């Protein structure tokens, strides 16, 4: 289904480029989630979508609705700020939980504990 808002040309070009680059970054990050080998490599990949992807798609929606309604529509900023604050927290706690589990299971490929040889 091809449907688009009725935007002026400059806004349409900006929105299209931002949407394509943001979704391409998200797709690359999710492909990394499939292709990388260990968990500690994989935990880095989705952050591409959570930073570049969210940033450019939110920016595209702000440009789109600002051009449509001729006033600044900045609700999207809230999503951007929230995700930027929470993604590091979730991934750090997940990685620490994985480290804890791997150390208990005596896995060989675990990064060394800080301050020990």
Partner 1 sequence: MTATLLGVAITVAQIMLGLALACAAFRFVRGPRAQDRILGLDTFYVNAMLLLLTFGIQTSRTIYFDAALVISLLGFVGTVALARFLMRGEVIE
Number of residues counted as binding partner 1 (CB under 8 A): 58
Burial tier of 8 (Cβ tally within 10 Å: 0-12, 13-18, 19+): exposed
- H or E element in which residue 31 lies: helix 9-35
| Contacts made by residues 8-12, CB under 8 angstroms, sequence distance 24+ | 8/67, 11/63, 11/64, 11/67
Separation between Cα atoms, residue 42 and residue 6, nearest integer Å: 40
Sign, Cα dihedral of 23, 28, 31, 33: negative
x/- track of binding to partner 1 for residues 57-96 (CB under 8 A):
xx-xx--xx--x----x-xx-xx--xx--x--xxx-xx-x
Smallest separation, CB 70 to partner 1 (Å): 13
Smallest separation, CB 33 to partner 1 (Å): 5
Rule CB under 8 A: which of 1-40 touch partner 1?
1-7, 9, 12-13, 15-17, 19-20, 22-24, 26-27, 29-31, 33-34, 39
Separation between Cα atoms, residue 68 and residue 6, nearest integer Å: 8
Nearer to partner 1, 34 or 112 (CB): 34
Residues that bind partner 1 (CB under 8 A): 1-7, 9, 12-13, 15-17, 19-20, 22-24, 26-27, 29-31, 33-34, 39, 42-43, 46, 49-50, 53-54, 57-58, 60-61, 64-65, 68, 73, 75-76, 78-79, 82-83, 86, 89-91, 93-94, 96-98, 100-101
């Amino acid at each position: 289904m091809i449907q688009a808002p009725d935007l002026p040309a400059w806004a349409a070009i900006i929105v299209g480029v931002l949407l394509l680059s943001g979704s391409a970054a998200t797709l690359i990050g999710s492909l990394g989630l499939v292709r990388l080998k260990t968990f500690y490599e994989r935990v880095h990949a989705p952050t591409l979508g959570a930073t570049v992807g969210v940033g450019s798609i939110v920016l595209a929606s702000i440009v789109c609705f600002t051009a449509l309604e001729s006033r600044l529509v900045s609700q999207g900023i809230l999503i951007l700020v929230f995700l930027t604050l929470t993604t590091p927290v979730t991934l750090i706690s997940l990685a620490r939980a994985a480290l804890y589990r791997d150390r208990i299971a005596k896995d060989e490929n675990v990064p060394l504990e800080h301050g020990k040889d």
